[in-house]
């Protein structure tokens, strides 16, 4: 998924002064009880459960568990996501994160943005919601 597509779809994106075209902010609505394809163009950051918000420290790599799942579990409770799957074609790898089963240090806890040669690529991934209501995911600064 390209930055140009995200910008044309209304995402508020910025360059961040690092030459990397990831960042910005937005909200994603995960619909109840369905599979949904999403992408979150955040390279560094994590969910602070104690503050109920993201922290973008420029050091901690944003991954599915620490950026997406921790937010959902903090705001909506555990057991709302069945699985998250992605296939990163440039590295030819399929990743599947199962909450409560996949260890946080597993490669299946995939990065939301990864480096492919000299460019930053945003990971598009499928999420299976088990929640009976819409889940609002915020991202960015």
109 domain residue, yes or no: yes
The widest CA-to-CA distance across the chain, in whole angstroms, is 41
Q: Percentage helix, strand, coil, to 5, in the chain?
A: 15, 40, 50
112 domain residue, yes or no: yes
14 domain residue, yes or no: no
3-state secondary structure of 97: strand
75 domain residue, yes or no: yes
**3 near 22, Cβ under 8 Å?**
yes
pLDDT digits (tens, 9 = 90+) for 71-102: 999 999 999 999 999 998 777 889 999 999 99
18 domain residue, yes or no: no
**What gap in Å lies between CA 99 and CA 21, rounded to an integer?**
29
21 domain residue, yes or no: no
Domain range for residue 52?
A: 3-8+27-140
43 domain residue, yes or no: yes
What's the total number of domains in the chain?
1
17 domain residue, yes or no: no
Instruction: Determine the pLDDT at residue 29.
Output: 95
Rounded mean pLDDT, 40-54 = 96
pLDDT digits (tens, 9 = 90+) for 113-125: 988 778 888 999 9
Instruction: Determine the pLDDT at residue 22.
Output: 66
Question: How far is CA 12 from its chain centroid?
Answer: 16
């Amino acid at each position: 998924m390209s930055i140009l597509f995200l910008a044309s779809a209304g995402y508020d994106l910025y360059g961040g002064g690092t030459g990397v075209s990831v960042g910005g902010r937005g909200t994603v609505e995960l619909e109840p009880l369905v599979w949904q394809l999403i992408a979150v163009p955040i390279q560094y950051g994590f969910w602070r459960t104690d503050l109920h918000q993201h922290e973008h420290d420029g050091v901690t790599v944003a991954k599915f568990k620490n950026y997406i799942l921790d937010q959902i579990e903090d705001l909506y409770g555990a057991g709302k996501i069945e699985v998250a799957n992605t296939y990163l074609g440039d590295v030819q790898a399929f990743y599947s994160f199962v909450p409560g089963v996949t260890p946080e240090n597993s490669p299946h806890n995939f990065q939301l943005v990864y480096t492919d040669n000299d460019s930053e690529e945003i990971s598009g991934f499928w999420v299976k919601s088990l929640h009976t209501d819409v889940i609002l995911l915020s991202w960015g600064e």
